[in-house]
Structure 1
Amino acid sequence: MVDTNNRNYQKFPTLTPDQMEVALRFASRPPVNFAPGDAVYGISDCEAPMWLVLDGTIDVLRRDGLNRKAPITSYSKGQFSGEVNQVAGLPAIAAGRAGLQGCTALPFEPHHLRALMVGSAELGEIIMRALILRRVDLIDQGGSGTVLIGHPDNADLLRLQGFLTRSGLPNQVLDVSVDNKARALVARTGVLPDELPLVVCPDGQLLRRPENVELAACLGILPDLTIDRLFNVVIVGAGPAGLAAAVYAASEGLSVLVLDEASIGGQAGASARIENYLGFPTGISGQALSGRAFNQALKFGAEIAVPVSVEHLEVVSDTLHLTCSGGYKVRATTVVIASGARYRRPDVENLDLFEGVGVSYWASAIEARLCAGRDVALIGGGNSAGQAVVYLASHVAHLDLIVRRPLEETMSRYLVDRIAALPNVKIHIGLELHALDGNSATGLSGATFRNLLDGATCHRALCHMFVFIGAEPNAGWADSLVEINNKGFIVTGAGTLPLETSMSGVFAIGDVRAGSTKRVAAAVGEGAAVVAQIHSALARSC
């Protein structure tokens, strides 16, 4: 009898003979025989297939960049290897080798695996759920993936940790001041203090204080954009609108590329809990929602490149050409701008000195850990601010909520009521940020706030401040190419297609579009709606 309280039966399912017979029709090549102890696939192997065991066993182990190993499980007849990287053909996170009796296994290359999941709804559900749960386990258990070595409160380390976490990639942080192995590796490699954090990729490569794009390249998570291909649609932005467009377009057989300059999920991806999104009565975190959409897009064959930013768009011989960071050139028949909005920054002196080390524009588990048991402030009265307050309140000693107007005017009722019931949250109405205290060595130590009515100031000692004061359209690269309104949002609907911009074949959806409803559900709806209009544009170009 299946124990439904233990999800191992979903993580490591065994296919029935009938299900295996269906799977055989989608295999990429004949079965392969492996002798005992033979490597079936290795950590960081690109395009590693999913292997369906026909006989014998495959032993699976995880390893981090320091070459520390630990067994995960052993697959037997009717079970299959892999996790979500196998869907997109990204480097393998775990390694597999034939068991004591050897094994015979059937390979499914990424495009065959996707065909199987789409072609058989029953098997698709079983396989996708298992691959996702295995990735979640790798993240939760630690001890696998990328190793970050440095000081846990360092701005660059927090940046890299945030990028990996929001990308759903396993990682762990070793504090160089207390971890002997980390200290020994730093000494052995001659890394200087100003070169920290040291990043050890799963294949053993060492990076010294890398940029996010350098780390992404090392991990092999960027698709090959050097190949001259023409995509049916290139989507700029991997927030809810962009991911929804990718899912619907790819599921209808269009070739799709998604580009984002930062990470998966956009602003919504930083939300601690979204409780008013249809179908999730208990709420869902922005990261979890984005992760599901990301995997769904991969399942249908969309390619996703993060972090890659678009620098220029032009028309060449009736084809849209995008110039991207890293010298990449991408061609498309249609382009969807779904780049959302960027966080608005307060106009205070020395703000950049504390960004990432005292001032944050999102509230994730990383920031919550840094603020545990301490006093913080949060500025902003919208729903995102309210969600962050509720999340942080369970971690910090005290939170000062700074708002210009009463919460009832700007925030959903359920959040207002929940915040009012929090004993360690104090609401300050009619204040704005005036100045920040601290220095680069010790970090943020306090902030001064000014009363909007009489100009009086008050000071609060705090270690961290969260800023949620709204956002501005994130389309600077496109504002000279398409029509925008006086606030910088992209205007659509001038032609025959409601979501098309003033540039033929270029569409805008989500928060970046003038007149859009700034809600996750509305963004997803526009992502779905734009695909029908893309089909019209493609028919028009034929």
Structure 2
Amino acid sequence: MNKKPVILAVDDDAQVLNAVDRDLRSEFRRDYRVLRAGSGREALETMRELRAREEPLALILADQRMPGMEGVELLSEARTIYPDAKRVLLTAYADTEAAIRAINNARLDHYLMKPWDPPQQLLYPTLHDLLAAWQSQYLPKYTGLRLIGFQWSPLSHEIKDFLSGYLVGFQWLDFETNAEAQELLTAKGLSSTDLPVVIFEDGTTISQPAKTDLAQRMGLTVTAKQELYDVVVIGAGPSGLAAAVYGASEGLRTLIIERQTFGGQAGTSSRIENYLGFPTGLSGAELAHRAWAQAVRLGAEILAPQEVVDLCVQDGYKVLTLTDGSKVRTRAVVLTTGVSYRTLDVPGMDRLSGAGVYYGAARTEARSCDQQDVYIVGGGNSAGQAAMYLATYARQVYIVIRGKSLAASMSAYLIEQIGNTPNIEILPFTEIAEVCGADHLEEVVLKTNGQFEKRPARALFVFIGAKPSTEWVCSTVICDNKGFVLTGRDLVTDPRYPAIWKHTREPYLLETCVPGVFSAGDSRAGAMARVASAVGEGSMAIKFVHQYLDE
């Protein structure tokens, strides 16, 4: 909630100050907070405190004849602290000439004669006019979470993505271009070396925060509450969230652990238009957070951001080790770790990653591309959705593909939309050969049919396929040569992996080589990379969990 603007009355005569305070409160207390000061020095100190608390000051009403600092001097100095506040001088008839000179020289807004009785005629009309003029130019300060950083800082980009991924509203302030950001940092006693800095609504700050620090301030849980769970779901993409919803709704003690943000790769999609039941489409973030809220309502416990680094079996129980060294015990596990974007191996990519070069949609950077040229590498649906979203802001969006067209890799509805968008251009038979820039992306080098061309670029978004996020678990469960988890019949029929399954019953459809450990979604071998398919597999996994627990 925005704080009421302040009216500050200043007079060294206690009787006069009481009268001013009484009349101001009587007329303006509904919309303004009235403060008082008994001297110019006290008034300046009050203004500095208000400034440090980022409270708005609408009007200063100061007496002219005060010992130590006259009213004109005070109002002139006040202009350096609150340049937009209206400044009114209270003066006796004998000081009228000085007051008029002050209006001209010190740029005061008005002077009022003492006494002002009745105030309905001699005080309120003038102040109402001045306050109306101030209100017409006043923009209430943003009172939510604010992030101050550098536009081309990878850490600033990570924090923006993290906050956006959890649908946390925030105001981004670029330190290099935003005067308010510099003022805020100074007021907090910080410098540019402390960036990025997060300022919370209560005024507290965190400099260069870790994600776990932000998570705790946001009310997220990073420590398991129970000693033993029926099922732990690792990964909160569509398949993991579906597993959590069904597990919790069917009475299982369910825990879901996510290392980044909800939704996985689908969560970064600006628009999913082929998901059943949403004819007008919905964003990946919206879908993920609906599922998250549903899982929590049904009783699932969620740890985020928290990462599992090891899985082992002890006395039939599955023991998960987290990055902080803590352990979680469970009877069954569902691996829904998803996939991560493959990196583009060309000169400059590592150096400029997070500073104009982004893997995935990076929706938080779209507005910074306003009326600029951006490039997208890849021809899948994720690339197409990103192109449509970026076209809203960018001057021109170029989709770089190695092949002739998008037909082999992108859904027809997206190809049609792209074809009808005038500021999207397909560059066929083209590759990115190099990315250039000092501290951020400035140019891309294109290679087309053996010819090289350097072009200016504000941003480059990379969608060149994905690899399963299974490195940490491949020593426990069997993965294929690309890292995808083998499940079900593949464990007993694939000639490349003889005698993997050592139990009398056949493995359940989504079960790995470790009984009670299941895999669903994009990280599973043979899975279809579609949101609906991932949701279906996550739901199915709970059916097999029940069968395993009933053995």
Q: TM-score, structure 1 length as denominator?
A: 0.70
Q: 2:523 matched to which residue of 1?
A: 512
Q: 1:54 matched to which residue of 2?
A: none
CA distance in 2, matches of 1:362, 1:68: 39
CA distance in 1, matches of 2:541, 2:460: 38
Structure 1, residues 124-150: CA drift from partner, whole Å, max 9, x if none? Answer: xxxxxxxxxxxxxxxxx9945422123
Do the aligned residues in 1 keep the contact of 2:215 with 2:305 (CA within 8 Å)?
A: yes
Q: 1:155 matched to which residue of 2?
A: 154
The answer as to 2:182 corresponding to 1:183 is yes
Do the aligned residues in 1 keep the contact of 2:237 with 2:264 (CA within 8 Å)?
A: yes
Structure 1, residues 367-392: CA drift from partner, whole Å, max 9, x if none? Answer: 21010110111110011111111111
What is the identity, as a one-letter code, of the residue corresponding to 1:522? S
What is the identity, as a one-letter code, of the residue corresponding to 1:258? I
The answer as to 2:534 corresponding to 1:526 is no
CA distance in 1, matches of 2:200, 2:294: 26
What is the identity, as a one-letter code, of the residue corresponding to 1:339? T
CA distance in 2, matches of 1:181, 1:270: 30
Match of 1:449 among 446, 450, 460: 446
Q: 2:218 matched to which residue of 1?
A: 219
CA distance in 2, matches of 1:392, 1:233: 40
Offset at residue 193 of structure 1 (A): 1.6
CA distance in 1, matches of 2:389, 2:544: 39
Structure 1, residues 177-204: CA drift from partner, whole Å, max 9, x if none? Answer: 5666643442244423222011123454
Pair 203,479 (structure 1): closer, same or farther in 2 beyond 3 Å: farther
Pair 308,265 (structure 1): closer, same or farther in 2 beyond 3 Å: same
Q: 2:471 matched to which residue of 1?
A: 476
Pair 221,496 (structure 1): closer, same or farther in 2 beyond 3 Å: same
Do the aligned residues in 1 keep the contact of 2:231 with 2:252 (CA within 8 Å)?
A: yes
Q: 1:399 matched to which residue of 2?
A: 397
CA distance in 2, matches of 1:175, 1:471: 32
Q: 1:229 matched to which residue of 2?
A: 227
CA distance in 2, matches of 1:374, 1:234: 45
Q: 1:463 matched to which residue of 2?
A: 458
Offset at residue 456 of structure 1 (A): 2.4
% identity of equivalent residues: 41
- Classify the secondary structure of the residue corresponding to 2:232: strand
1:57-206 equivalence runs, <5 A: 143-177=142-176, 182-206=181-205
Q: 1:538 matched to which residue of 2?
A: 549
Offset at residue 448 of structure 1 (A): 1.0
Do the aligned residues in 1 keep the contact of 2:152 with 2:354 (CA within 8 Å)?
A: no
What is the identity, as a one-letter code, of the residue corresponding to 2:240? G
CA distance in 1, matches of 2:442, 2:173: 25
Pair 184,427 (structure 1): closer, same or farther in 2 beyond 3 Å: closer
CA distance in 2, matches of 1:215, 1:526: 32
Q: 2:274 matched to which residue of 1?
A: 276
Structure 1, residues 476-495: CA drift from partner, whole Å, max 9, x if none? Answer: 11011101111110000034
Offset at residue 437 of structure 1 (A): 0.7
Structure 1, residues 415-450: CA drift from partner, whole Å, max 9, x if none? Answer: 11211122122211111221111022xx10111122
CA distance in 1, matches of 2:303, 2:350: 28
Structure 1, residues 301-354: CA drift from partner, whole Å, max 9, x if none? Answer: 111111111110111121111111122211111111101000111111231221
Match of 2:263 among 265, 271, 280: 265
Pair 171,497 (structure 1): closer, same or farther in 2 beyond 3 Å: same
CA distance in 1, matches of 2:187, 2:239: 47
Match of 2:487 among 476, 489, 492: 492
CA distance in 2, matches of 1:240, 1:386: 20
Unpaired runs of 5+ residues, structure 1, are 1-64, 70-140
Match of 2:328 among 324, 327, 330: 330
Structure 1, residues 506-528: CA drift from partner, whole Å, max 9, x if none? Answer: 11000000000110000000011
- Classify the secondary structure of the residue corresponding to 1:492: coil
Q: TM-score, structure 2 length as denominator?
A: 0.69
CA distance in 2, matches of 1:470, 1:221: 31
Question: Which one has a larger percent strand, Structure 1 or Structure 2?
Answer: 1
1:422-433 equivalence runs, <5 A: 422-433=421-432
Do the aligned residues in 2 keep the contact of 1:144 with 1:171 (CA within 8 Å)?
A: no
Do the aligned residues in 2 keep the contact of 1:66 with 1:147 (CA within 8 Å)?
A: no
CA distance in 2, matches of 1:218, 1:331: 26
Q: 1:339 matched to which residue of 2?
A: 337
What is the identity, as a one-letter code, of the residue corresponding to 2:254? V
1:371-410 equivalence runs, <5 A: 371-405=369-403, 406-410=405-409
What is the identity, as a one-letter code, of the residue corresponding to 2:398? D
Q: 1:418 matched to which residue of 2?
A: 417
Count of residue pairs brought into register by the alignment: 400
Do the aligned residues in 1 keep the contact of 2:374 with 2:394 (CA within 8 Å)?
A: yes
Structure 1, residues 151-176: CA drift from partner, whole Å, max 9, x if none? Answer: 34533222212111111223222344
CA distance in 2, matches of 1:400, 1:169: 30
CA distance in 2, matches of 1:335, 1:387: 33
Structure 1, residues 259-278: CA drift from partner, whole Å, max 9, x if none? Answer: 11111110000101011111
CA distance in 2, matches of 1:462, 1:181: 28
Offset at residue 223 of structure 1 (A): 4.5
Do the aligned residues in 2 keep the contact of 1:201 with 1:219 (CA within 8 Å)?
A: no
What is the identity, as a one-letter code, of the residue corresponding to 1:167? Y
Match of 2:291 among 284, 290, 293: 293
Deviation larger for 471-480 or 179-188: 179-188
CA distance in 2, matches of 1:249, 1:421: 43
CA distance in 2, matches of 1:217, 1:201: 12
Match of 1:367 among 362, 365, 368: 365
CA distance in 1, matches of 2:416, 2:348: 35
Offset at residue 532 of structure 1 (A): 0.7
Unpaired runs of 5+ residues, structure 2, are 1-51, 57-139, 492-505
Structure 1, residues 267-296: CA drift from partner, whole Å, max 9, x if none? Answer: 000101011111111111111111111111
- Classify the secondary structure of the residue corresponding to 1:265: coil
Q: 2:512 matched to which residue of 1?
A: 501
Deviation larger for 263-272 or 488-497: 488-497
What is the identity, as a one-letter code, of the residue corresponding to 1:489? F
Deviation larger for 266-275 or 409-418: 409-418
Q: 1:256 matched to which residue of 2?
A: 254
CA distance in 1, matches of 2:324, 2:459: 34
Deviation larger for 175-184 or 378-387: 175-184
Offset at residue 210 of structure 1 (A): 1.2
CA distance in 1, matches of 2:426, 2:475: 42
Do the aligned residues in 1 keep the contact of 2:238 with 2:288 (CA within 8 Å)?
A: yes
Offset at residue 363 of structure 1 (A): 2.6
What is the identity, as a one-letter code, of the residue corresponding to 1:163? F
Structure 1, residues 221-263: CA drift from partner, whole Å, max 9, x if none? Answer: 12432x5510111111100000000001101111111111111
